[in-house]
Structure 1
Amino acid sequence: MAAPRLPASKEPRHLLVLPEDVGDDEVEVLAVSRFPQARWEQNDVPAPRGIMGPMTAALGMRTVSANMTPARTLRVARLSTLTGPYAVEAPDAVGLGLPSWSTYAYVVAAPRERGDKPYPGGDRDGLKRAFPDGMPVREEERVLQWLVAVARRLGGAVRIADNGIVLVPDVDGAIDLTVYSDRWLEPPEALAVVQQVHPRARLGEGTGTWDGPLPGAGRDAGIRPAWVTEVGGAGLHDALESYGVADPAERQRLHDEASAYDELMMAAPPPAEAFGVLVDLQHDGILSVEAAAETELPPLLRGLPWTSRGVVAYRVHWEPQFVEELEAERPSFEHRVARSRAAPQVQALARAIHGATGGEIADEADFLVDPEDV
């Protein structure tokens, strides 16, 4: 069943534009991935397949419907909806300045909420360029950021209502991946997993040691900490006395306890609660795997039985030689070449960690990724 043609309108409206191989079920999945209460509005035509219960990327992210449904409304937020899909014909694409591959479009209704002018700095999504007089805020900001993320994930574009600027985010512009799991790998275990992919990987531990205070610190220091000056003493003994520890034997006992605690912590430090594994890519930058407990989960993972017991996030991050290029809408050729070499390695690390821990994989927009697609 063919989609109706994109209707003409004199009112400014944001558009989400997609290529021909994207089905409306994929838009639905990505809407629920960011807005858990997203739903198709009821009307006279049966709505597409509903989403029942907790869902992962494996439930059809790659499915493409051969027959497009009539235009209908998908509510993503209290005041914001997408209506479509509409067919974009050649005259429509030319008149709206859309890419030549534009096949389907969703008309976006959202409140117009603007704040201050954009701050200088990176603009990977192009929103600063699209809103030079005042950046979107509140619900409009959330919806537009989601639209750009959807366009990047599905190879689409976003047309801005105010000025007709068309944002075509680079599908390769965000290559970081995160593995969410309920299994904690100790640093040596994680290092062994990463070394299956990169034998030269190493733990990102600090190399410095502490050998006590610098010479001259304390009683004879020329510059004393403020807390020492406040109590009128020249060293810790005087400070303890000023705070009510007048007995020399008691002061010595406190000193001995503090020294014993320091020695214990240095000899047997507590287990790591977070750590990193580093891979030097030389001219292509650095890969890191950062492991830590995570409480802010992607919406699709919240409330699942296995996530309720605590989740560890293993973030696989690529850092190029020139970090500022990560936020460039159109990075340099050299950056794109380095990124093209780093991306398969990010994916290989995510696959290895997922194979060792299980769980789910998410991209930088918190959209879940089928492990078979990584």
Structure 2
Amino acid sequence: MITRRELRLQREAAERAAREQADAARYQKPDARAASRRRSGMPSTGRPGYGGDTSAPEDTATSADLRGFHLILLDDAVEVSDVLALIHNKLPDLHPQLDEYGRMRLSRHSQLSSGAPLDPADAAALEVPHWASHAIVIDCPRDRQPSPPPDWFADADGLHEAFPHGMPDREEERMLSLMLSVASRLHTGVRLADEPGLPTRVIIPDPEAKIDLYIYSSYWMEPPVVLDFVRRHAPQAFQQALPTPDEDVLAQASIDDPLFDPSAPVILDGYALLVPLGEIDESAGSLEIRVMEAEWVPPIIAAHTDAPQIEYHVHWMDAESKRYQPNQGRRFRRMRSRVAELTDAIGSELLIGSAGIGLDENGFLVTSRQLRA
């Protein structure tokens, strides 16, 4: 299995080249609307009715067949089977194989098909990044909210800009969420289906924006045990103070229940550890390790056990709540990378120590080896 770090290294060169291309195009064409689209990862297009003023790329048979569908873009390092395996993580009831027609039913209303390879002419016609060598097709309904997203709303992946007249809803929202999470994990992208009056929309999710980790285990670990694991990588970690019951509350509890013993030790049903991150950067905030019985168990976990699960959630809280905002600066990205390394190290300790199962923030399985890579 390809590790997240290996995928990151493979993608960095292509992403740098894409940014340089976009910067060059921005200076050559001062059109404000086109520049804004490029900043959000949605390149402008000269196709009639789509807002550009250059000649439209010549369509190919493949691009003509594909442009009416949402597409998951793959590069040479990713196979269709990788996508099917990730979808199986999210939808474990589905068998991760295509049928004889190269399709897989995702729900009652949506299906995936293996799509088609893209040669340079196809990629140019579809106006997708040059690294895109294959497109997987998602055929789903077009469900939209009846009104535009409010001005204050900003989706981390730029969907508010991609759908200015109404955000995806119901089945389409679920399918796009699945597609974007797959693209984020694989460090690839999504091309949205063409729509009249809108530019070509290609979304490249920021794969480093999703840092949190979730570990599910049938074992409850007491605070000192978890604290010992965390302090192997963050000696400054500490347990947050537990709330102390008010004397009046204890007195009333004694009246309500004659067997209640106010001096008995508190039995925890959850706790939190805190890791200040000031040594990384003053804006890095903190990591919080939240431990509690899981109220909801992801389907991939529930498919393999009926036992109650303890959730160990390693959650990053940056000081300025900017982690999900698009177009982060270089300093923030460097800081975020160091936080991610610490998160992975702590998550690996908890994963091994609890004999649990790990999921990343997109809901995909991770192993301790991947976290340590």
Query: Could you state the TM-score of these two structures normalised by the residue count of structure 1?
Result: 0.73
Equivalent in the alignment of 2:87: 31
Whole-Å Cα distance in 1 between the matches of residues 290 and 297 of structure 2? Answer: 16
Question: Which shifted more, 135-144 or 28-37?
Answer: 28-37
SS of the equivalent of 1:184 reads: coil
Change over 3 Å in CA distance of 1:257–1:315 after alignment to 2: closer
User: Does residue 276 in structure 1 map to residue 276 in structure 2?
Assistant: no
Equivalent in the alignment of 2:137: 107
Change over 3 Å in CA distance of 1:370–1:82 after alignment to 2: same
Q: CA deviation at 1:257?
A: 4.4
Q: CA deviation at 1:38?
A: 3.1
Q: CA deviation at 1:198?
A: 1.3
Q: CA deviation at 1:268?
A: 3.1
**For structure 2, which runs of at least 5 residues remain unmatched after alignment?**
1-60
**For structure 1, which runs of at least 5 residues remain unmatched after alignment?**
45-71, 214-253
How many residues get paired? 299
Query: Could you state the TM-score of these two structures normalised by the residue count of structure 2?
Result: 0.74
Equivalent in the alignment of 1:309: 307
Equivalent in the alignment of 1:43: 100
Q: Which amino acid aligns with 1:42?
A: D
Equivalent in the alignment of 1:156: 188
User: Does residue 147 in structure 1 map to residue 179 in structure 2?
Assistant: yes
Output the aligned Cα RMSD: 2.6
User: Does residue 331 in structure 1 map to residue 328 in structure 2?
Assistant: yes
User: Does residue 75 in structure 1 map to residue 73 in structure 2?
Assistant: no
Q: CA deviation at 1:199?
A: 1.4
User: Does residue 19 in structure 1 map to residue 75 in structure 2?
Assistant: yes
CA contact (8 A) 2:153 2:160 kept: no
User: Does residue 369 in structure 1 map to residue 370 in structure 2?
Assistant: no
Identity among equivalent positions (%) equals: 29
CA contact (8 A) 1:37 1:76 kept: no
Q: Structure 1 segments of 4 or more deviating over 6 A?
A: 259-263
Please say which structure displays the higher CA radius of gyration: 1
Change over 3 Å in CA distance of 1:6–1:155 after alignment to 2: farther
CA contact (8 A) 2:66 2:137 kept: no
Change over 3 Å in CA distance of 1:79–1:257 after alignment to 2: closer
Whole-Å Cα distance in 2 between the matches of residues 10 and 368 of structure 1? Answer: 30
SS of the equivalent of 1:8 reads: helix
Whole-Å Cα distance in 2 between the matches of residues 338 and 169 of structure 1? Answer: 19
CA contact (8 A) 2:291 2:313 kept: yes
Q: Which amino acid aligns with 1:275?
A: Y
Change over 3 Å in CA distance of 1:195–1:87 after alignment to 2: same
Whole-Å Cα distance in 2 between the matches of residues 166 and 10 of structure 1? Answer: 14
Superposed CA offset, 1:171-198 (max 9, x none): 1110111111111011122112211221
Equivalent in the alignment of 1:287: 287
CA contact (8 A) 2:116 2:135 kept: yes
Whole-Å Cα distance in 2 between the matches of residues 276 and 262 of structure 1? Answer: 30
User: Does residue 122 in structure 1 map to residue 154 in structure 2?
Assistant: yes
Equivalent in the alignment of 2:44: none
